Structure 1
Amino acid sequence: MAPTPFRHDVVIMGGGLAGLTLALQLKQRFGDIDVVVLERRPHPVPHAAHKVGESSVEIGAHYFDTVLGLKAHLHGAQLRKFGFRFFFSEGRRDIDQVTEIGASRYLSVPSYQIDRGIFENYLAEEATRAGVRFVDDALVRRIELAQVPQDSFGDHDRSRSRGDADDPQALHRLEWTQDGETRVAHARWLVDACGRAGLLKRKLGLAQANAHACNAVWFRIGARITIDHWSDNAQWRARCEPQARWLSTNHLVGTGYWVWLIPLASGSHSVGIVADPRMHPLETMDSFDKAMDWFRRWQPRLFDELDGQRHLLQDFAFFRNFSYGCKQVFSGQRWALTGEAGLFLDPFYSPGSDFIAMSNTYITDLIAHDRAGHSVAARAQLYDQIYHSFYESTLALYRDQYALFGDPEVLPVKVIWDYTYYWGVLSQIFFQQRLTDLALLGTVREELQHCQRLNVAMQDFLRAWSDKSAKRNPPVMLDQAALPWFAELNRSLNDRLDDEGFKARMRASATQLRELAGEILRRACAEHPGLDNGALRAVLADHVPTSPAQAPASPLLFDA
């Protein structure tokens, strides 16, 4: 006998971070919505050694703690992150005698180090409490997508627009198994959140390569790596308050690679190597023993820390060519992809949760318009274009940039620039809840496009500068918290702006990026007069709406 199909408003394939947060967001927006989450793994999942991607940054953190209201869990069961921190420690054991980038104190807007096992178990419980049907140990076997006429909604009223809910031909159909039994579900909306398995991506041929070829290896060790104890230099330790560098996402950087050190609330530590294969082939690090030999050569102080703890290894994994795009993630045919089922950039700057926050917000808004009886075809197309523009502009931060990671003169400037672009543009859009306000975004389109062009030109300029840089590595801390304008930019994310205030903020961000670009240009060219700067100067010559330019009261960069 054929199984009886069950009908749902939304079926989400994948009950990890992306799928569960989407389910919660939908239930918070629509109390009566029928949501099913199908998760392949049995629950509860293990702590520590569950999934990689433990570090969050401001957009993702705000999505978790404020949009979804999970602040109590994040404060009580996870770790508040002490920002990003970088050490130019290649081949060195004297961590206190190299250049360090980081903040000496916490900035205003929090971010978190998240044990994915603890978090995803909690999210599954929260989703169930909210009325989501969460099914673990479920394997999707077959998908049949509905063919939704693009004009099926048109000017129809709500009752007619949703009348096709009674027509199985107009609903997506899934077959899935649990405990050897086949089940069938019909869904008005189908969302792929199943990560790199990419069920819909494969079915629809949406996979898309990009020009960013990098590899990563990682493992979890059942011990705390307290980088603060790597030196007994009291002056070095006192540079930070609290003296808790270990709570940062610590980066040990060198030419062509970076190493992450991320603490987990369970007491373990996540360790990873991300590298450009042209300089550090995956074959030199694709097992724990090989990775340890790699550390012995390139980051010997970390090797010292781990060598006596090999027996505490909890897992080991790697990805080859981890970065990829996707031709389409939102469709007027009432399907969507979110999280790594769609696209993935790079773990540097931890943008994964940010893009989950944005895609889930777009999906929730599309479903809201559908439930209101409106056509979603044009809106889905626009959201897809905007989302991909965010992806492309962020990809510029990584593409062909790994060689300068070993440059103690240029990388600190890149980090300041990248944060300014992130906090000043994309973060403002998300924090001010303007992501789906197409009319308002249209009024600042020129400013946003100018900022994107400026960012691409700056990334090219930084690469050219690093080719000529002396790469001096003095024993100093470049304290981001000591740059008043930088700390204020972070704090400004907490502002609440009306429409006019938002437009003024976007103009101010464009002005700030132009001023910062000008200072970077002057400093670099003063030391290297022959540096090619034509493309950057050309963008700076563009005329765009900006705030009245004012000479900064103090330099925007660290003292040379």
Structure 2
Amino acid sequence: MSLTTYDVIITGGGLAGLCLARQLRQEHPDLTVLVAEKKKHPVPEAAHKVGESSVEIGAHYFSKILGIEEHLVEKQLYKLGLRYFFTDGDNRDVTTRVELGPKSFPKVPSFQLDRGRLENFLLEENRKAGIDVLDGVKVTAVEFGDPHHRVDIDIAGTVHSFKGRWVVDGTGRSGLLRRKLGLSRPASHNANAVWFRMGRRLKIDDWSPKGSWQDWMPMQERWMSTVHLMGKGYWTWLIPLASDSHSIGIVVDDAIHPYQTLNRFDRAMSWLHRFEPQCAEVLEAHRDDLDDFLGLQHFSHSCAQMYSADRWALIGEAGVFTDPFYSPGSDFISIGNDIVAELITRDRRGEDITAHAAFFSRMYLLLFNAFLKLYDGQYPIMGNAQVMTVKVAWDNACYWAISALLYFRRKYRDMAYMQQLEGLLTRFFFLHARMQHKLKLWNDADQASYGYQQMSLLDMPYLHRIQGQLWDDIDDATLTARLHENFAELERYADVILQMAGGRTIDRHHGGFENAAVFQLPKATVAA
């Protein structure tokens, strides 16, 4: 029997799969692509999937590379950055908590994403572009072959077989190919999450009418941030969605907050009453607006291999997942999809992709392991406003100075360029890992009082500059020079942080960031 043949079959039509299909069609208009998605579309808005907050890499991928900026601006929400509130007393008054977050929208934008709305849009746009998208179907088997693989798909109770030169797995954490090939690997980071959506807007700006709270940020749009309520071993997110719903999530270190204490809605509310009572009281008034409740235990996972010269690849959570803190999920989708597009492009040209597949797989997993160090063993720091503020500043500096800068110049898919950076990146990953260890030791040794009440990282000239430079149109030579300069600055910044840790305080008048002019903060706003 003759089977329908495609250049690429993507198993899974979630965010990663739908984005890759669109990207491949844009880069190769003659490419034939089949997407097989388990969920029947259209899916519900709001009560659909977690992963609603994007940061710079993911937002750039969606808006500029995929070209859906109009949808993001008109149908989603601009994001007012990441905002953190650190534990103060019994957490019954948000205005007394140390606040870290921007006072205005950053120069480089990001978005809050209603995943149901976005994935419905992408699916329909892909169909309009001539991509074959099957929804409400189940992939039952994948058999590898040469020159084509076979994919069996159950469509309305009948199994149909298709041939594809490439098979790309976008089936999420179920990991169809990861399980088939025995590639699953554990991750050392042991954290759990529960999340739910309320069918109404929850504005943290309305939680208190106090004057000093409003004076620091007159625009009163804190609710447009991804809001983090922070404590030892946990963080709680508040994310607004364009459908006027709000996403609420609790992410915890299992050793400090066992999963069984919050794995049902009533338990999650009891947990919030204990650790975040002001948030709990707000939510109690809207129990009738509950849309859904989901949980995931030990969500972090790794993988032995992402890409193969035998023309298969893993994308998104079908491969690896770190942690939702800093919202890196769409970043890894962006980088991974770019790599897969590069491998398919080279294969279509008749090139031997053995070296490229091996290099990209190793590079992607090194990046994953570097990101994992942001989280593994670091959750206790979340209760320390002083150390966690420095950690957030350091982590953002690394992201903007190296990781995001490489992506904005599309270099993760350029093997020759990345190979000549291996020495620099090795030193960068070592410095990054060393600083995460030092921050943990600082937290273990110090619970000092904190001199700031409210501050914005983008008021720090150094961070403001490196974030703003992401869009600079520079050639490879200039990029390389900038990366080396940025790494040298990171080394100096690390020295400043270690001096701060040695002094064990960030005072609003002496020491702290003011020890080095390039990292200087303006005078802090301090509670009366």
Instruction: For 1:345-364, list aligned pairs within 5 A.
Output: 345-364=322-341
Where 1:9 maps in the other structure, the secondary structure is: strand
AA aligned to 1:248 is: S
Q: Is the 8 A contact 2:462 2:519 kept in 1?
A: no
Q: Distance in 1 between matches of 2:303 and 2:296?
A: 18
Provide the residue aligned with 1:338 in structure 2.
315
Q: Does 1:284 align with 2:261?
A: yes
Q: CA deviation at 1:389?
A: 1.1
> Which TM-score applies when normalising by structure 1?
0.90
Q: Is the 8 A contact 1:88 1:473 kept in 2?
A: no
* Cα pair distance change 1:440/1:552, threshold 3 Å: farther
Using the TM superposition, name which of 505-514 and 112-121 deviates more: 505-514
Instruction: For 1:515-530, list aligned pairs within 5 A.
Output: 515-527=492-504
Provide the residue aligned with 1:553 in structure 2.
517
Q: Distance in 1 between matches of 2:105 and 2:45?
A: 27
Q: CA deviation at 1:241?
A: 5.2
Determine which of 392, 396, 421 is the counterpart of 1:415: 392
Provide the residue aligned with 2:511 in structure 1.
none
AA aligned to 1:493 is: L
Provide the residue aligned with 2:509 in structure 1.
none
Cα RMSD for the two superposed structures: 1.5
Aligned residues: 514
Q: Distance in 2 between matches of 1:331 and 1:98?
A: 49
Instruction: For 1:67-466, list aligned pairs within 5 A.
Output: 67-89=65-87, 91-146=90-145, 169-240=146-217, 242-466=219-443
Q: Distance in 2 between matches of 1:237 and 1:474?
A: 20
Q: Is the 8 A contact 2:78 2:111 kept in 1?
A: yes
1:354-397 CA-to-partner distances (Å, cap 9, x unmatched) read: 00001100000000000001011111000001111111111110
1:441-464 CA-to-partner distances (Å, cap 9, x unmatched) read: 233322221111101000000000
Q: CA deviation at 1:469?
A: 1.5
AA aligned to 2:108 is: V
Where 2:517 maps in the other structure, the secondary structure is: coil
Q: Is the 8 A contact 2:460 2:520 kept in 1?
A: yes
Q: CA deviation at 1:138?
A: 1.1
Q: Is the 8 A contact 1:262 1:271 kept in 2?
A: yes
Percent of paired sites with the same residue: 42
In structure 2, runs of 5+ residues without a counterpart are 506-514
Q: CA deviation at 1:437?
A: 1.9
Where 1:8 maps in the other structure, the secondary structure is: strand
Where 2:385 maps in the other structure, the secondary structure is: coil
Provide the residue aligned with 2:512 in structure 1.
none
Q: CA deviation at 1:259?
A: 0.3
Provide the residue aligned with 2:18 in structure 1.
20
Q: CA deviation at 1:559?
A: 6.5
Instruction: For 1:474-553, list aligned pairs within 5 A.
Output: 476-527=453-504, 553=517
* Cα pair distance change 1:441/1:397, threshold 3 Å: same
1:181-220 CA-to-partner distances (Å, cap 9, x unmatched) read: 2211000000000101211111100100011010000000
* Cα pair distance change 1:327/1:238, threshold 3 Å: same
Determine which of 58, 63, 66 is the counterpart of 1:65: 63
Q: CA deviation at 1:508?
A: 1.3
Where 2:105 maps in the other structure, the secondary structure is: coil
Q: Distance in 2 between matches of 1:486 and 1:360?
A: 28
Where 2:216 maps in the other structure, the secondary structure is: coil
1:103-155 CA-to-partner distances (Å, cap 9, x unmatched) read: 11111100110000000000001111111101101111111012xxxxxxxxx
Q: Distance in 2 between matches of 1:238 and 1:17?
A: 39
Q: CA deviation at 1:558?
A: 7.3
AA aligned to 1:48 is: A
In structure 1, runs of 5+ residues without a counterpart are 147-168, 529-550
